[in-house]
Amino acid sequence: TKSFDSAEAVIIQHENDHLDGIVIYDRQVKERME
């Protein structure tokens, strides 16, 4: 159904945002270590 598709899209977008956050955090930590 359409509602299921949109809910799934929101979950996927949330996971992508979470991964981006990890990558950015990782980069900041590495910059501080150097």
pLDDT tens across 14-34, in order? 899 988 989 989 999 999 988
Contacts of 2 by beta carbon, 8 Å cutoff, 6+ apart: none
Whether the model pTM is above 0.75: no
CA–CA gap between residue 28 and residue 24 (Å, rounded): 6
Domain coverage including residue 3: 1-34
Question: What is the distance of C-alpha 14 from the center of its chain?
Answer: 6
CA–CA gap between residue 17 and residue 10 (Å, rounded): 10
Total number of domains constituting the chain: 1
Supply the pLDDT for residue 28: 92
